Chains A and B, each alone.
Chain A
Amino acid sequence: MDASVLANKLSQRSKELYYDVYTVFDWPDVLPHNEYWMSPELLSVYGTEYADSLNESQLVKLSQLETINMFSIFAYGESDLIQTILKNTLRSDLSEFNDYLSHFIDEENKHLWFFTEFCNKYDNGVIPVRNIPMISKFTIDIERLLSFIRIIVFEEIGDYYNYIVMNDVRITPFVREIHKRHHMDEVGHIAIGWKIAEKLLRDMRSVNSKEITAASNHMSNFMESSLQSFYNPDLYARININKPYDLRSNLLQHNARKEKHENILNRINIKLDKLWAGAN
């Protein structure tokens, strides 16, 4: 579908589905502490002997903590994402997307609010993301393109989890509702995000194959580092694992976890390959 037609359709959809984030959810005072908040198959220990060594109560607790960790990562991600979109929303080369980008910012701001509220209400607040800013090694144009691709990929990874949890009847209903709301908005953001990335790449005057390879490698590293952020030693310590840093290292080297990462990233890699091919 043509990019501007898609943007118009998505704007119309956002207007029809518009919601007040402060009233759309009926927030329970507490969530059940004996129920999974995340599908067991999505836990960072799944498929390994380390999962087998944990009892049911530890696994349930880990599912709750990893939900808080994931929503914290989402909240920080939304914040970065809003800043990127704001920097670009009035640029003339993206004028065909302007109207929808306003909805995009509005919806992402709502996500930022409800993920933060969830972490505040059901744990000790948002878990700080422990990164520091570093200067990009890419040209301004490529960095601008990458900032959009990182957004889309971040949303694609998030949506992998959203889709599974929202359809999993074993999960506490309120948690499923949060994932479903996020998913409904993300579908549009992901669709337009790839169109914007295609356009930015197409419009680049001078980009060579070496730069594309470097950008592609950067995205592979970004995806791996995004998935690694789901392995949080502080959470392992909270379920009484003695050597939480060792567990994290062992899990990241485990073949079952590497396979899971490939599985999560498979669909995204196909889209990325298609995008980079368009640059040649």
Chain B
Amino acid sequence: MLVVSVKIIEWLKERKPELNEISLDQNLMNTGALDSLQFVSFLMFIEQLREKKIPQEEVIPDNFLTINEIMNTFFNIKNENNGYLDE
């Protein structure tokens, strides 16, 4: 079992090892944790985690601003502690 947020942070840090800390309410785009060239792969990673495609109309910047926003929008998780996924 791994929390959704942990998996997302792992994915981001794997691609940007220079990032020390990524908080759940950090703006991923303004802080460079996520850049435009990584976005499509990141989107597919989120789809892989939720095992469901994200509808095109939901692919908007507001839904990907922070990890909390991503969990809320795509996993219906309001609280990080409830965000467990089956391994």
Contact A221 B37 (CB under 8 A): yes
- Looking across the interface, which residue of chain B has its beta carbon closest to that of A234? B53
Contact A134 B29 (CB under 8 A): yes
**Hey, what's the 0/1 contact readout for B19-41 against A, CB within 8 Å counting as 1?**
00000000001101001111111
Q: Please, which residues of chain A bring their CB within 8 A of the CB of B38?
A: 221, 225
Complexed CA–CA distance, A54 and B30 (Å): 43
Q: Please, which residues of chain A bring their CB within 8 A of the CB of B41?
A: 225, 228
**Hey, what's the 0/1 contact readout for B26-70 against A, CB within 8 Å counting as 1?**
000110100111111101100110000100100111001000000
Given contacts A130-B56, A233-B44, contact A225 B64 (CB under 8 A): no
Q: Please, which residues of chain B bring their CB within 8 A of the CB of A132?
A: 36, 39, 59-61, 64
Complexed CA–CA distance, A218 and B32 (Å): 13
Partner of B36, one of A131, A233, A249: A131
Partner of B43, one of A130, A221, A234, A246: A130
- Looking across the interface, which residue of chain A has its beta carbon closest to that of B41? A228
The answer to whether the Cβ of A137 comes within 8 Å of any Cβ in the partner chain is yes
Contact A248 B36 (CB under 8 A): no
With contacts defined as CB atoms under 8 Å apart, how many contacts are there between chain A and chain B in the complex? 48
Contact residues of A: prevailing secondary structure: helix
Q: Please, which residues of chain B bring their CB within 8 A of the CB of A32?
A: none
Contact B44 A245 (CB under 8 A): yes
Partner of B48, one of A135, A137, A245: A245
Shortest B9–chain A CB gap in Å is 18
Complexed CA–CA distance, A222 and B43 (Å): 16
Within 8 A of B (CB), among A218-260: 218, 221-222, 224-225, 228-229, 233-234, 245-246, 248-249
Contact A229 B40 (CB under 8 A): yes
The answer to whether the Cβ of A133 comes within 8 Å of any Cβ in the partner chain is yes
- Looking across the interface, which residue of chain B has its beta carbon closest to that of A245? B48
Q: Please, which residues of chain B bring their CB within 8 A of the CB of A245?
A: 44, 47-48
The answer to whether the Cβ of A278 comes within 8 Å of any Cβ in the partner chain is no
Quick one: which of A134, A248, A249 has the most chain B CB within 10 A? A134
Complexed CA–CA distance, A229 and B40 (Å): 8
Knowing that A225-B37, A228-B40 are A-B contacts, what are 14 other residue pairs whose CB atoms are under 8 Å apart, sorted by A's residue number? A130-B40, A130-B56, A130-B59, A132-B39, A134-B36, A137-B32, A218-B37, A225-B38, A225-B40, A225-B41, A228-B41, A233-B47, A245-B47, A248-B44
A sample of 11 cross-chain residue pairs with beta-carbon separation below 8 angstroms, ordered by A number, consists of A128-B56, A129-B40, A132-B39, A133-B36, A137-B32, A221-B35, A224-B37, A225-B41, A229-B40, A233-B44, A245-B48
